[in-house]
């Protein structure tokens, strides 16, 4: 049972000091923060919500044990995903 | 020293101006106590005339944030303190101290070190306070400032007061949770992500509490607000009143910057920023309540130099690594230079006061006010080539005198390199950024922009190179008045009439 931080992490450091299990580390190999699966408890005994996923500002950067994003597209920014797709398509067209 | 107030007259309110914020530019600080004024009069971000002489720098030591703002995309720096879409080089406290001392030794005009991001400085207390603690010890001649969204502020006031930090900026966009919920989608509070009105209320309460605690400790507080048309534009006059009543000494209203390519909520959802006119109107309506700061540049979190310039490239990590800094020697050199600048500023202020008296004795014009753009690289004089100006300072000339209004960014149309091929369209953009101005004053200007400016109804003027800005603007205004140009309506009024 462990969460994962994936490559969309922007290295903002917000999660690192919050982790009660000291499971979050900067990976030299990937250049972004990662979670040590052996240490991660998903904050079970410490907090109601997983701390890293509660402060992370990047949608999709943290996955649960099943590999599902805890903060799916639109959940943090409030931008409806279809609106974001529209804006990106518009920008690419130029 | 009592500073002159040019248009302190009963009907000042008719033009939307309150006596304290108009007239000559430096009287923006006129309402302050001597003690506060002494603290801010050489601060480039607070004193309009000091910003022509002194430089500031930011160090990006604070990456984490504890809230989300709709004008921010966390892939980039904080859009409030910085331009969106830029990423600062993140420094450790040790690197930040080294960089600060390297800049201070090489740019003696640098008097202010700020921590403003790229996240929220107080959401990174260890990194932020380590930097402040070491700089207070190792470079005591540098003023320290910090900006915050306010959420963690009440918990930080004690620590801030230990490090002898006398300027704190709080970004307060609202005092009403209904409005706050349209600006802040969530906050991280007591180990939970909280959304909606509840989140906004906690943030607002913390901001107000932090403001009160800082004032009680005698720490200067500036309030920044981002003007978001249709969201908080009507509300900011009330914010201004409240923060002033609680003891903030300056209120700085900044325009929302929102483009789809920034990937922010406002950018993608098509929320527009305010026009120059809307911004100036709000700044005017708030200035009756509060001193405003019209020369703010929303500089990026690792900006270095005079406001409006960025010399950060000269002080990258690999470059400062090789610099040997003898800070004791640098501090002595800095002291001499600071004294010379203070002397020069004093004589300029005196001269300005004298010309104000002279102006008051002359026959009063009855002409309409005019906006003029000025190209300057500092020292309060017109000393920049039109094509080299990265920004223009906008002044209003009227029978009451000359006052600083705002700055406008220009796109550099001539870099003197192979980008010149696209020159024309960028020049057109630059000219568009000067909309509403009727003259532009610079040290020199080429034929092509001269023609285009004239066609756009803006009179180019290179005749006042190296002259003090206010004197030159008034001279051009009088020439326009004498030529009978000011009896007719403004060009755009004619167009829309």
Nearest-by-Cβ selection for A87 from B124, B192, B260 = B260
CATH code for the domain of B208: 3.20.20.70
Q: How many CB atoms lie within 10 A of CB B103?
A: 26
> What is the tens place of the pLDDT at every residue in B299-347?
544 566 665 566 777 888 888 888 888 899 999 999 998 888 888 888 8
Taking Cα atoms as reference points, which of B261, B184, B248 lies closest to residue B214? B248
Whether residue B387 sits in one domain with residue B299: no
| Contact assignment for A13 to B269 by CB distance below 8 Å | no
Give pLDDT, residue B458.
94
Confidence of residue B39 (pLDDT cuts 50, 70, 90): low
Last residue of a domain, one of B300, B321, B342: B321
Nearest-by-Cβ selection for A13 from B64, B261, B267 = B64
Q: How many domains in chain B? A: 2
| Mean pLDDT of the B416-428 span | 54
* B208 vs B482, more confident: B208
In a domain, B3, yes or no: no
Domain range spanning residue B474? Answer: 360-496
| Mean pLDDT of the B376-405 span | 87
| Contact assignment for B124 to A13 by CB distance below 8 Å | yes
In a domain, B274, yes or no: yes
Tokens of B210: 């932090």
B33 Cβ neighbours under 8 A, 6+ residues apart: none
Among the ranges given (A60-74, B10-24, B86-100, B191-205), the one the predictor scored with the smallest mean pLDDT: B10-24
Whether residue B101 sits in one domain with residue B172: yes
Last residue of a domain, one of B321, B345, B368: B321
Last residue of a domain, one of B262, B293, B321: B321
In a domain, B388, yes or no: yes
Domain range spanning residue A75? Answer: 1-94
Whether residue B371 sits in one domain with residue B310: no
| ipTM score for this prediction | 0.95
Distance from CA of B198 to the nearest CA of A (A): 16
The angle subtended at Cα B468 by Cα B463 and Cα B470, nearest 5°, is: 95
Whether residue B418 sits in one domain with residue B306: no
Give pLDDT, residue B262.
83
| Contact assignment for B63 to A12 by CB distance below 8 Å | yes
Tokens of B229: 């048309």
Confidence of residue B473 (pLDDT cuts 50, 70, 90): very high
Whether residue B286 sits in one domain with residue B177: yes
In a domain, B20, yes or no: no
Residue with tokens 């130099």: B305
> What is the tens place of the pLDDT at every residue in B270-303?
999 998 888 888 887 776 444 445 555 555 445 6
CATH code for the domain of A5: 3.30.70.20
Q: How many domains in chain A? A: 1
> What is the tens place of the pLDDT at every residue in B62-75?
999 999 999 988 87
Cα(B241)–Cα(B180) distance, rounded to whole angstroms? 18
Whether residue B304 sits in one domain with residue B398: no
Beta bridge partners, B292, equal B251
Q: How many CB atoms lie within 10 A of CB A20?
A: 15
In a domain, B354, yes or no: no
Confidence of residue B47 (pLDDT cuts 50, 70, 90): low
Picking from B84, B184, B191, B266 by the largest number of A CB atoms within 10 A of its own CB, the best residue to mutate is B191
Which residues in A lie closer than 8 A to residue B68 (C-beta atoms)? Answer: 57, 76-77
CATH code for the domain of B476: 3.30.420.130
Whether residue B406 sits in one domain with residue B296: no
pTM over 0.90: no
Q: Is a pLDDT exceeding 90 seen at residue B153?
A: yes
In a domain, B243, yes or no: yes
| Contact assignment for A83 to B191 by CB distance below 8 Å | no
Confidence of residue A59 (pLDDT cuts 50, 70, 90): very high
In a domain, B6, yes or no: no
Q: Is a pLDDT exceeding 60 seen at residue B33?
A: yes
Specify the DSSP class assigned to residue B150.
S
């Amino acid at each position: 049972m462990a969460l994962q931080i994936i490559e969309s992490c922007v290295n903002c450091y917000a999660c690192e000091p919050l982790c009660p299990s000291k499971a979050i580390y900067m990976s030299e190999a990937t250049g972004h923060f990662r979670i040590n699966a052996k240490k991660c408890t998903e904050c079970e005994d410490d907090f109601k919500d997983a701390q890293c996923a509660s402060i992370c500002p990047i949608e999709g950067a943290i996955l649960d044990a099943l590999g599902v994003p805890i903060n799916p597209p639109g959940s943090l920014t409030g931008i409806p995903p279809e609106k974001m797709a529209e804006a990106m398509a518009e920008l690419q067209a130029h | 020293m009592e500073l002159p107030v040019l248009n302190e007259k009963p009907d000042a309110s008719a033009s939307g101006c309150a006596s304290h914020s108009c007239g000559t530019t430096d009287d923006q600080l006129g309402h302050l106590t001597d003690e506060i004024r002494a603290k801010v009069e050489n601060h480039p971000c607070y004193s309009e005339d000091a910003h022509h002489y002194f430089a500031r720098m930011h160090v990006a030591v604070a990456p984490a944030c504890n809230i989300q703002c709709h004008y921010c995309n966390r892939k980039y720096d904080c859009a409030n303190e910085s331009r969106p879409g830029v990423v600062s080089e993140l420094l450790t406290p040790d690197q930040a101290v080294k960089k600060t001392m390297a800049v201070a030794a090489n740019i003696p005009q640098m008097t202010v070190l700020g921590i403003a991001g790229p996240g929220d400085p107080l959401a990174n207390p260890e990194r932020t306070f380590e930097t402040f603690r070491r700089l207070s010890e190792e470079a005591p001649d540098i003023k320290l400032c910090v900006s915050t969204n306010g959420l963690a502020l009440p918990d930080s006031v004690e620590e801030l007061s230990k490090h002898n930090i006398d300027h704190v900026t709080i970004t307060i966009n609202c005092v009403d949770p209904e409005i706050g919920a349209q600006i802040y989608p969530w906050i991280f509070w007591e180990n939970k992500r909280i959304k909606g009105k509840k989140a906004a209320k906690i943030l607002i309460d913390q901001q107000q509490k932090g403001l009160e605690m800082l004032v009680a400790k005698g720490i200067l507080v500036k309030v920044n607000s981002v003007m978001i048309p249709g969201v908080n534009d009507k509300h900011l006059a009330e914010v201004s009143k409240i923060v002033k009543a609680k003891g903030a000494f300056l209120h700085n209203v900044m325009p929302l910057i929102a483009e789809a390519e920034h990937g922010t909520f406002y950018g993608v959802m098509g929320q527009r920023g305010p026009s120059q006119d809307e911004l100036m109107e709000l700044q005017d309506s708030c200035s009756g309540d509060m001193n405003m700061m019209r020369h703010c540049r929303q500089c990026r979190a690792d900006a270095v130099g005079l406001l409006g310039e960025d010399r950060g490239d000269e002080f990258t990590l690999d470059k400062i690594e090789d610099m040997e800094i003898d800070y004791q020697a640098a501090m002595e050199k800095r002291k001499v230079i600071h004294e010379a600048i203070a002397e020069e500023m004093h004589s300029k202020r005196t001269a300005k006061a004298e010309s104000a008296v002279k102006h008051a004795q002359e026959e009063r014009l009855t002409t309409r006010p005019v906006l003029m753009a000025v190209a300057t690289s500092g020292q309060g004089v017109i000393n920049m080539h039109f094509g080299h100006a990265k920004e223009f300072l906008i002044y209003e000339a009227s029978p009451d005198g000359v006052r600083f209004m705002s700055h406008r960014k220009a796109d550099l149309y001539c870099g003197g390199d192979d980008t010149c091929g696209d020159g024309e369209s960028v020049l057109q953009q630059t000219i568009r950024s000067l909309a509403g101005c009727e003259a532009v004053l610079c040290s020199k200007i080429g034929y092509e922009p001269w023609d285009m400016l004239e066609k756009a109804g803006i009179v180019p003027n290179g005749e006042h190179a190296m002259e003090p800005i206010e004197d030159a603007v008034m001279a051009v205004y009088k020439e326009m008045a004498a030529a009978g140009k000011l009896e007719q309506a403004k060009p755009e009024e004619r167009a829309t009439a």
